[in-house]
């Protein structure tokens, strides 16, 4: 996932401000404003949409949850705009935990992929994006 999203970002935006260290094997995570740049989240969202479709061409609806960090709302807005402009539906689950998003992905028939905005137990200055397509993260 890491390489695919980074390549798509470079192709689509020409340049982006996020540091390479935020792109990890199973998530995107870093210090907001330094490593994880809110203004670049839209481009990341478009790249995630392409990644989802590459993994499963039938992806139509993305479940989206977020934690209560102050920057989660801004990340949610950019990801939602990116998914909608990529032709996907977004089912916002509200402020919740990662297990709620995983549960929704496994039990709601309308959900094809999911995204959780969280840095889990990392410091409050950090935030991130966890991805899941079908039953795989």
Cα–Cα distance measured from residue 71 to residue 88, given in angstroms and rounded to the nearest whole number: 23
Rg over alpha carbons for the chain, rounded to the nearest Å, is: 13
CA atoms 14, 27, 108, 78: torsion sign: negative
Burial class of residue 18 in the structure, from the number of CB atoms within 10 Å of its CB (0-12 exposed, 13-18 middle, 19+ buried)? buried
- Out of 13, 98, 120, 137, the active site residue is 120
CA atoms 98, 103, 105, 111: torsion sign: negative
Cα–Cα distance measured from residue 105 to residue 61, given in angstroms and rounded to the nearest whole number: 10
User: Is 120 annotated in the active site?
Assistant: yes
Q: Which residues are catalytic?
A: 120
């Amino acid at each position: 996932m890491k390489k695919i999203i980074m390549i798509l970002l470079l192709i689509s935006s020409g340049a982006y401000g996020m540091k390479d260290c935020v792109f990890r094997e199973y998530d995107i995570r870093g210090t907001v404003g330094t490593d994880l740049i809110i203004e670049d989240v839209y481009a990341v969202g478009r790249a995630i949409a392409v990644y989802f479709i590459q993994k499963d061409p039938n992806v139509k609806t993305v479940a989206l949850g977020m934690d209560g960090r102050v920057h989660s709302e801004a990340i949610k807005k950019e990801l939602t705009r990116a998914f909608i402009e990529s032709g996907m539906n977004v089912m916002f689950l509200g402020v919740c935990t990662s297990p709620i998003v995983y549960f929704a992905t496994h039990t709601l028939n309308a959900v094809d992929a999911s995204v959780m905005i969280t840095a889990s137990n990392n410091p409050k200055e950090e935030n991130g994006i966890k991805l899941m397509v079908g039953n795989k993260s």
